[in-house]
Amino acid sequence: MERRTIFPGIALPMLLVLPQLLLTVVFFLWPAGQAIWSSMTRADPFGIRTQFVGLENFADLFSDPLYVDSIGRTVVFCAAVTALSMGLALLLAVYADREIRGRGFYRILLIWPYAVAPAVSAVLWILLLHPQIGLVGRWLNRAGVQWNYKLDGTQAMLVVIVASAWKQVSYNFIFLLAGLQSIPRAVIEAARMDGAKGWFRFRTVVLPLLMPTVFFLLVVNLVYSAFDTFGTIQALTQGGPGKATETLVVKVYRDGVVNLDIGSSAAQSVVLMLGVIVLTVLQFRFLGRKVAE
């Protein structure tokens, strides 16, 4: 879509768009180009010379069982976080859409966690689940469950999933509720008149109309769980115990910033970039112009 009425001038608009372009080129395009370049080079052990090695870093990456494991782990993690936070949000949105007393009150109490930082939500969950001091963690141990997410990999995964999903419920709730409210009452009434009840009405009338919102959220949640949960995981487990909660982003941080393996870290960055590009294209193809930070 384009505007019909416009202003004349060439220098002014170029000047106006310049700051944004400058920042984009310096801090986004240039580093991304660097990542692609260094993903195809390798430094000798003393860091004196670098040589071009083509796709060798990628070949190494995908033949490294640790990396393949990390991909699998990330997929499980993202799927679990997305399913949990969207499922819970849908359930709450359906009830909040009913005409009940105090709905404004409920709504605000369900929306505010949007503002909680991922790393801070991790702290809240530590206080609940810590094996020695946590409110729930202590209780689990007393009840005879061997609860210690600092030693048990499966439990650690469970904890990072729960903490990550908890924080994302409100975002999904806001969109699902808006989606439900935009369904014309007349459609619901018509279905009711035709005798469609409860779950059946929801499944055959409401859910199909809600599908665009659900698809949009699916992509947003995958991006969130893949990228924005770094703080949550870092605060809760640092990717451990061992590598039990090392998702791709945690791994790229560990390999690049902590272990200074530039070639491999760059190759991992490029793989992640491709992942984001695929998700963004999906989002725009299926949903028109929907964008989220």
Partner 1 sequence: MNGRIDWPAHVMLGLGVLLFILPIWLVLAGATLDPAAIARGELSLVPRLDGWGVYAAVLAEGAPGAQPVGRMLLVSAGMALAIAAGKIVISILSAYAVTFFRFPFRMTAFWTIFITLMLPVEVRIMPTYSVMSDLSLINTFPGLTVPLIASATATLLFRQTFLAVPDELVEAARMDGAGPLRFLKDILIPVSAANLAALFVILFVYGWNQYLWPLLVATNPRLDTIVIGIVKMIGTETQTEWNRVMATAVLALLPPVAVVVLMQRWFVKGLTEGEK
Q: Which of residues 70-129 bind partner 1 (CB under 8 A)?
A: 88, 91-92, 95-96, 98-101, 106, 108-120, 122-128
Work out whether 209 is an interface residue with partner 1 (CB under 8 A).
no
Smaller CB distance to partner 1: residue 241 or 256?
256
Helices marked H in the chain: 11-24, 30-38, 56-63, 65-96, 103-111, 118-129, 135-142, 153-181, 185-193, 198-201, 207-223, 230-236, 248-253, 262-287
d(CA 159, CA 128): 10
Among 133, 145, 207, 258, interactor with partner 1 by CB under 8 A: 133
Residue 184 — left, alpha, or beta (φ > 0 → left; ψ -120 to 50 → alpha)?
A: beta
Q: Which of residues 22-51 bind partner 1 (CB under 8 A)?
A: 23-35, 38
- Least CB distance to partner 1 at residue 271 (A): 9
Count residues near partner 1 (CB under 8 A).
98
d(CA 210, CA 98): 16
Work out whether 197 is an interface residue with partner 1 (CB under 8 A).
no
- Least CB distance to partner 1 at residue 257 (A): 7
Work out whether 164 is an interface residue with partner 1 (CB under 8 A).
no
Contact 194, 111 (CB under 8 A): no
Q: Report the 10 Å Cβ neighbour count for 222.
A: 19
- Least CB distance to partner 1 at residue 63 (A): 22
Q: Is 50 exposed, middle or buried (0-12, 13-18, 19+ CB in 10 A)?
A: middle
- Least CB distance to partner 1 at residue 33 (A): 8
What x-and-dash track marks residues 220-239 binding partner 1 by CB under 8 A? -------x--xx--xx----
Among 80, 210, 218, 272, interactor with partner 1 by CB under 8 A: 272
Smaller CB distance to partner 1: residue 101 or 285?
101
- Least CB distance to partner 1 at residue 279 (A): 9
Among 45, 46, 54, 132, interactor with partner 1 by CB under 8 A: 132
Helix (H, G, I), strand (E, B) or coil at 42: strand
Smaller CB distance to partner 1: residue 75 or 273?
273
- Least CB distance to partner 1 at residue 268 (A): 9
Q: Is 39 exposed, middle or buried (0-12, 13-18, 19+ CB in 10 A)?
A: buried
d(CA 104, CA 90): 17
- Helices 118-129 and 135-142: crossing angle in degrees, nearest 10, is 30
- Point out which span in 5-13, 63-71, 77-85, 188-196 binds partner 1 (CB under 8 A): 5-13
- Least CB distance to partner 1 at residue 135 (A): 6
Beta bridge partners of 41: 52
